Amino acid sequence: MLLDLNDPQTIVNWWSVFPERHGALLADWSRRRPEHRVAISQARRLINADPARRALLERVRALDAHGSTEEAAQQPPSHDELAAGELEH
């Protein structure tokens, strides 16, 4: 899957694959990459507007509130994250 940070629908599709991890990455990129902030915000609105994705988001938030997503956050970086130069291995 290719992620285009200028395309909100691509962001939504990518987030849906692994929301426990991708949500945190998007939040970080939104803070550090102002050129993509608008598209990431639009993607958040699309997620909230879709009942199935909103339910997934609420499930992730509930897990996060109980500390259950820490394991997902501690997984090693994916090949794509390393290739993008966003994280160090």
What tens-digit pLDDT sequence spans the chain (89 residues)?
A: 789 999 999 999 999 999 988 988 999 999 999 999 999 999 999 999 999 999 999 988 888 777 655 554 555 666 666 766 665 54
pLDDT at 68: 56
In angstroms, the CA 4 to CA 56 distance is 22
pLDDT at 69: 53
pLDDT at 89: 46
| C-alpha Rg value of the chain to the nearest Å | 13
pLDDT at 11: 96
Alpha helices in the chain (DSSP H): 8-17, 19-32, 37-49, 51-65, 70-73, 79-83
